[in-house]
Amino acid sequence: MLVPEGGREDWMKLLRALIAAAVGAACASAQPAPRAPFHLIPGSVVPNRGPDGNSIFLDAPEGLILVDTGRHPEHRDLLLGFARERGRPIAAIVNTHWHLDHTTGNAELRAAYPQAQVYASEAIERAVTGFFVRSRTSTQQALDAGQVPESRRAEIVRGFAAMDNVAALRATRPVTASGETRIAGRRLRVNLARFAATEGDVWLYDPATHVAIVGDLVVGPVPFMDTACAQGWRRALGEIAATPFTTLIPGHGAPMTRADFTAWRAAFDAFVECGQSDRPRADCVAGWRRAAARFIPAGAERMIDGLAGYYVGSRLRAAPEERGRFCEGGPG
Beta pairing class for 39-41 and 55-60:
antiparallel
- Using CB under 5 A, list all residues that contact Zn ion: 53, 101, 216, 251
Q: Supply the minimum distance, in Å, between the C-beta of residue 54 and Zn ion.
A: 8
Residue of this chain nearest to Zn ion (CB atom): 53
Q: Supply the minimum distance, in Å, between the C-beta of residue 99 and Zn ion.
A: 5
Q: Supply the minimum distance, in Å, between the C-beta of residue 280 and Zn ion.
A: 28
In single-letter form, the type of residue at position 321 comes to: E
For Zn ion, which is the closer residue by CB, 199 or 216?
216
Say how far apart CA 203 and CA 192 lie, in whole Å: 7
Assess contact for 169 and 116: CB atoms under 8 A. no
Q: Supply the minimum distance, in Å, between the C-beta of residue 214 and Zn ion.
A: 11
Beta pairing class for 211-213 and 247-249:
parallel
For Zn ion, which is the closer residue by CB, 43 or 287?
43
Structural element, H or E, at residue 200? strand 200-206
Say how far apart CA 98 and CA 130 lie, in whole Å: 13
Half-sphere exposure of 78 (CA within 13 A, CB side): 19
* Secondary structure letter of residue 151 according to DSSP: G
For Zn ion, which is the closer residue by CB, 186 or 191?
191
Q: Supply the minimum distance, in Å, between the C-beta of residue 215 and Zn ion.
A: 7
Backbone angles phi, psi at 55, to 5 degrees: -120, 145
Q: Supply the minimum distance, in Å, between the C-beta of residue 227 and Zn ion.
A: 11
For Zn ion, which is the closer residue by CB, 101 or 201?
101
For Zn ion, which is the closer residue by CB, 107 or 184?
107
Backbone angles phi, psi at 288, to 5 degrees: -60, -50
For Zn ion, which is the closer residue by CB, 60 or 204?
204
